[in-house]
Amino acid sequence: MQAPLHPCEADRLQALRSYDIVDTEFEAEFDEVVDFVRAVCDVPIVLISLVAEERQWFKARRGLDVDETPRDVAICAYTVLQDDILEIGDTLLDPRTRDNRLCTQDPDLRFYAGMPLVTKEGFAIGSLCALDHRPRVLTDLQRQTLRVMAHQVMARLELRRTLRLARELRGEVDHRVKNSLQSLAALASIKARNVASDEGREALQAIQRRIQTVAMLHEQLYRSDSGSAVNLGGYLTDVARYLEGQTPDRVSILCEACDLAVVAEQSAAIGTLVNEFVANSIKHGYPDGRRGNIRVGLRQIAPDEACLELSDDGIGLPEGGVTRKGLGLQIMEASAAQAAGQYEQVPVERGFAVAVRFQPRASRAIL
């Protein structure tokens, strides 16, 4: 006898699909549940069964060597019609199961007890079930164990669904923010071309670079599966590539950055610092058509410490070692502080160089 469909079968199936769990790999957290239930209920077979449109699929199983069965022989198809445990003491005496080939033939299932896996919306998507090859009856403790562990299975599924939806929402937000920032950067670029004064044009170009740097950060976040963390090395490589496209052909930007996971706020501060250093170098370090290279380096110098190294081979500081003053330098120092870094000017024979030591702040979501 085949179980009838749930009265709200379409909604029930939609609820099951929302967890994106069917046909995923076996996982220890679910295997531990079936092992525990198997020991407490003293049965040879325990399953976490999810009842799909034409089959029941097992997220975890003990004592049964198949990953799924057709729905027409799934005893769990009756369980999803229940509000509480469905217990069949002898399957050959119950009209729902007495002609079921899983009971009359191998694997000879003579006892069944299943607790529905119910979503917070009230739809049963499957069951946590215990089976035996002989007729029997569960104790009150064993029934309560089934109830409690079925709730635990659903709690884990709900958490996974919530985290997945949060990641998808974050990705969509980052994607939209990135597109909006790129539109602003393009607008600033158009405005800069129509400004007559050099000062106004430089200001708009600086705004464009800063906006685009933040847009690239959101692109990294959109592509990342690591929550609020990004690969700083990859981000700086993108920033350097973009800035080189904005610099005169006579100046090259060379980037060598290690992989390093940091939170988005730290990446944004370091990206701004690099942006300002490059702009400062081009403005002050290479007058009169000079050629040269600007270097961007990132390396890990200790398990909990990294160093950002920026240098150019331009004309360097004026005689007497007076530091380059201006808004750009102030932004660099403020950005280093925002990244919780120690900013220092590095003495070099030629050009100008700074180093920023900092402790990477990695998001827990990247673990």
Q: Is residue 296 part of a domain?
A: yes
Range in 60-69, 71-80, 208-217, 279-288 the model is least confident about: 208-217
Judgement on whether residues 156 and 263 belong to the same structural domain of the protein: no
Judgement on whether residues 146 and 236 belong to the same structural domain of the protein: no
Range in 1-15, 29-43, 140-154 the model is least confident about: 1-15
Contact between 276 and 315 (Cβ < 8 Å): no
Instruction: Round to the nearest angstrom and report the end-to-end CA distance of the chain.
Output: 48
Judgement on whether residues 142 and 242 belong to the same structural domain of the protein: no
In the predicted structure, residue 217 carries a pLDDT above the cut 90: no
Total tally of structural domains belonging to the chain: 2
How much is the pLDDT for 327? 66
Q: Is residue 175 part of a domain?
A: no
Q: Is residue 218 part of a domain?
A: no
In the predicted structure, residue 366 carries a pLDDT above the cut 50: no
CATH code assigned at 343: 3.30.565.10
Q: Is residue 169 part of a domain?
A: no
How much is the pLDDT for 50? 97
Judgement on whether residues 40 and 134 belong to the same structural domain of the protein: yes
Q: Please tell me which residue, 241 or 299, carries the higher pLDDT value.
A: 299
Q: Which residue among 146, 161, 176 closes a domain?
A: 161
In the predicted structure, residue 44 carries a pLDDT above the cut 60: yes
DSSP class per residue in 225-276: SSTTEEEHHHHHHHHHHHHHHHS-TTEEEEEEE---EEEHHHHHHHHHHHHH
Q: Is residue 183 part of a domain?
A: no
Q: Tell me which residue range forms the domain holding 149.
A: 9-161
Phi, psi of 66 (to 5 degrees): -115, 150
Q: Which residue among 119, 135, 161 closes a domain?
A: 161
Q: Which residue among 161, 178, 211 closes a domain?
A: 161
Q: pTM of the full predicted structure?
A: 0.56
Judgement on whether residues 152 and 64 belong to the same structural domain of the protein: yes
Q: Is residue 203 part of a domain?
A: no
Mean pLDDT for all residues in the chain: 86
Reported as a pLDDT band with limits 50, 70 and 90, residue 31 is very high
Reported as a pLDDT band with limits 50, 70 and 90, residue 162 is confident
Q: Is residue 283 part of a domain?
A: yes
Q: Please tell me which residue, 194 or 21, carries the higher pLDDT value.
A: 21
Contact between 158 and 120 (Cβ < 8 Å): yes
pLDDT in tens, 121-133: 999 999 999 999 9
Judgement on whether residues 15 and 115 belong to the same structural domain of the protein: yes
Structure tokens at 337: 């502080």
Judgement on whether residues 156 and 290 belong to the same structural domain of the protein: no
Mean pLDDT of 156-165: 86
Counted residue by residue, the chain has a size of 367
Q: Is residue 138 part of a domain?
A: yes
β 251-257/292-302 pair status = parallel
Structure tokens at 235: 């981000």
Judgement on whether residues 16 and 141 belong to the same structural domain of the protein: yes
Mean pLDDT of 219-236: 71
CATH code assigned at 70: 3.30.450.40
